[in-house]
Amino acid sequence: MVKCELCGTEIRGAVYKIVLEGAELLVCSRCARGRTVVAVLNLTQSARGQPARRALATRKSRASEAEEYVVVEGYGEIVRKARESMGLTREALAAMVGEKESTIRRIEAEQLEPTLELARKLERVLRVKLLERVGEELTRFEGLGEDYYGYSLTLGDVAEFRE
């Protein structure tokens, strides 16, 4: 049986996948109330008695997509070196990605972190890597030897929540 990752109760019926402080959690309906629900899952028992996951509804927003990627360290230097090696001025690069020259200058000085959309445009034009994917969701707890559904420690056990 699946346990709520916040309160630890066994979940019967729908399981809600929420985003809390940037982390995705599987929670019960009570803990999902008032939070951003990313997906609603229906966990049913398969013929072997193992939980079978079936997504009923999934809503992928730009916010959740942005949480999957981060801009690499030293992005300003990467952009500047790539631009200079291609023989482009800041004005030319800005025109190619549809931004102002001052935006490119601030990115190169690392005074401004590019948005996900702008970073992708810069990657295409300059042929560099500016975004890296955040670590994939773990389905096993290393060292515990238990599967995702069998652990007993919950976030609610170790964190204090402010109301």
- Spatial distance between the Cα atoms of 69 and 131, rounded to a whole number of angstroms: 6
Dump the DSSP string for 129-146. --EEEPPPPPSB-TTT--
Range of the domain at 42: 14-60+138-158
- Give the tens place of pLDDT for each residue, 52-94: 444 444 445 555 555 578 888 899 999 999 999 999 999 999 9
Q: 129 and 77 in one domain?
A: yes
Phi, psi dihedrals of residue 79, rounded to the nearest 5°: -65, -45
Whole-prediction pTM value? 0.46
- The single-letter code of the amino acid at 118 is L
The CATH number assigned to the domain holding 92 equals 1.10.260.40
> Quick one: how far is CA 163 from the chain centroid?
24
- Give the tens place of pLDDT for each residue, 15-42: 888 887 778 888 888 888 878 788 887 7
Sign of CA pseudo-dihedral 29, 10, 163, 139: negative
39 belongs to a structural domain? yes
* Total domains, the chain: 2
Q: 147 and 123 in one domain?
A: no
Q: 123 and 73 in one domain?
A: yes
